[in-house]
Amino acid sequence: MIQIHHADAFEIIKDFYRQNLKVDAIITDPPYNISVKNNFSTLKSAKRQGIDFGEWDKNFKLLE
């Protein structure tokens, strides 16, 4: 059976874990940890330095 969930990835994964569900795939496309200061620029705007996506994007613990 195929099920598609459109939800906050953090919350739905926690919910799956609590229910002891097993899944074959989780596909997400978030821009994680890109609010940090960097030398990012685009061809249209070389002045823009990074993008602030809000607090949710600033608190990631990177895995090693």
Both tokens of 14, joined, read 């926690």
Q: What is the pTM of this model?
A: 0.44
The tens digit of pLDDT for each residue in 33-57 reads: 666 666 655 556 555 556 666 776 6
CA distance 61 to 49: 22
CA distance 35 to 50: 6
Under 8 Å between Cβ of 35 and 57: yes
Average of pLDDT values for 22-40?
72
